[in-house]
Amino acid sequence: MNKFMRSLLIGMGASIFLIGGIAGIGIWVSSEPGAGTDVASVAKDSKRHTVRMRPQSVQIGGYSLKSKKKAQILLVSVEMRVTGSHNFVKVCQLMPRLVSSVNTVFANLVSQTDNARDAITKNVQGQLKYRFNKALGAPLIDDVRMIAYQDEKDVPGTTCPEET
């Protein structure tokens, strides 16, 4: 039994050493700076860029307790102007945070006016700019423009890379 315990302890020690070494090498390799697009690796410039969100479908009506018209879906395109490619990359990376702001702000304004075209002209761009910058944690967005479309084929696509 004594030889068995000794060989068991040696085997366990060797296994722990081997697994710990593999895990340590894996952590070391993954912490190396990669060639991926990162906010810090993009050179800062002062050029103005347009970031266009993927077309968003906003449901208009159908949420209130009062009886209204049947809910309709409206496609919305949101363009943001940012200064510098580093801000362009950061806005593209954090784009999922901005989608809920569009639904919240725009749907509320449309429910008050009952007309999507009137809601867009009512300071929705200013409210979106404020909410986007708040969601991003810094004043990265200089200007916001929002356009509503009836037909899906008229809506322009996103300007962000597909991996974001």
* pLDDT tens per residue across span 38-59: 544 445 678 888 888 888 777 6
d(CA 128, CA 102): 7
pLDDT at 79 over 80: yes
- Give the number of residues written for the chain: 164
Report which of 76, 83, 87 is spatially closest to residue 120, judged by C-alpha positions.
Answer: 76
Report which of 2, 7, 75, 38 is spatially closest to residue 163, judged by C-alpha positions.
Answer: 38
CB atoms within 10 A of CB 137: 10
* pLDDT tens per residue across span 84-110: 888 888 888 888 778 777 777 776 777
Domain ranges of the chain: 1-36, 48-154
Q: Which amino acid is at 36?
A: G
**Where does 48-154 sit in CATH, by number?**
3.30.479
Q: What is the mean pLDDT of the chain?
A: 76
